[in-house]
Amino acid sequence: MKDLKIWMNGKLVSQAEAVLPVNSAAVFYATNVFEGLRAYWNEADDEMYAFRLAEHFVRFRESMRMMRFTIPYSDVDLYQAVREALSGNEAREDVHMHLVAYVLGTGLDATSPAGLYINPRRRPRVAEDSGIRCCVSSWQRTSDNAIPIRLKSGSNYQNGRLATLQAKADGYDQPILLDQRGHVAEGTGASFFMVRKGKLVTSPITSDILESITRTTLIEEICPNVLGMDVVEREIDRTELYVADEAFFCGSGYEITPIVSIDKFQLGDGGVGSMTQRIRTAYMSIVRGVDKRYPEWRTATYKGVRV
Ligand SMILES: Cc1ncc(COP(=O)(O)O)c(C=O)c1O
Sheet harboring 298-300: ordered strands across? 11-13, 6-8, 114-122, 95-103, 32-42, 47-51, 298-300
Q: What is the pLDDT of residue 113?
A: 78
Please give the number of the atom of ligand 1 that sits closest to the Cα of 152.
16
Please give the number of the atom of ligand 1 that sits closest to the Cα of 156.
1
Angle, CA of 108, 142 and 25, to the nearest 5°: 20
Q: What is the pLDDT of residue 129?
A: 76
- Sorted by where each begins, the domain ranges of the chain are 6-124+292-300, 132-272
Ligand 1 pocket check for 255: Cβ under 6 Å: no
Query: Ligand 1 pocket test: which of 52, 155, 210 has the largest number of ligand atoms within 8 Å of its C-beta?
Result: 210
Does the pLDDT value for residue 128 go beyond 80? no
Q: What is the pLDDT of residue 31?
A: 95
What is the rounded distance in angstroms from the CA atom of residue 264 to the CA atom of residue 23? 45
Q: What is the pLDDT of residue 306?
A: 39
Burial of residue 16 (CB within 10 Å: 0-12, 13-18, 19+) is exposed
Does the pLDDT value for residue 189 go beyond 50? yes
Ligand 1 pocket check for 190: Cβ under 6 Å: yes
What is the rounded distance in angstroms from the CA atom of residue 31 to the CA atom of residue 170? 31
Helix (H, G, I), strand (E, B) or coil at 181: coil
What separation in Å is there between the alpha carbon of 151 and the centre of ligand 1? 10
Burial of residue 217 (CB within 10 Å: 0-12, 13-18, 19+) is buried
Ligand 1 pocket check for 202: Cβ under 6 Å: no
What is the tens place of the pLDDT at every residue in 51-78? 999 999 999 999 999 999 999 999 999 9
What is the tens place of the pLDDT at every residue in 190-249? 999 999 999 999 999 999 999 999 999 999 999 999 999 999 999 999 999 999 999 999
Helix (H, G, I), strand (E, B) or coil at 42: strand
What is the rounded distance in angstroms from the CA atom of residue 138 to the CA atom of residue 163? 8
- Domain 6-124+292-300 sits in CATH at 3.30.470.10
Which sequence positions are flagged as catalytic? 152
What separation in Å is there between the alpha carbon of 161 and the centre of ligand 1? 14
Torsion (CA) 263, 265, 269, 273 in degrees, nearest 10? -40
What is the tens place of the pLDDT at every residue in 250-294? 999 999 999 999 999 999 999 999 999 999 999 999 999 999 999
Ligand 1 pocket check for 175: Cβ under 6 Å: no
What is the tens place of the pLDDT at every residue in 4-51? 999 999 999 999 999 999 999 999 999 999 999 999 999 999 999 999
What is the rounded distance in angstroms from the CA atom of residue 11 to the CA atom of residue 30? 23
Does the pLDDT value for residue 1 go beyond 70? no
Does the pLDDT value for residue 84 go beyond 80? yes
Q: Which CATH number fits domain 132-272: 3.40.50.12280, 3.40.50.2000, 3.20.10.10, 3.60.21.10?
A: 3.20.10.10
What is the rounded distance in angstroms from the CA atom of residue 58 to the CA atom of residue 162? 29
Topology agreement, domain 6-124+292-300 and domain 132-272: no
Ligand 1 pocket check for 214: Cβ under 6 Å: yes
What separation in Å is there between the alpha carbon of 190 and the centre of ligand 1? 5
What separation in Å is there between the alpha carbon of 196 and the centre of ligand 1? 23
DSSP state of 72: S
Closest listed residue to residue 200, CA positions, set 230, 227, 226, 222: 230
| DSSP E strand stretches across 43-131 | 47-51, 95-103, 114-122
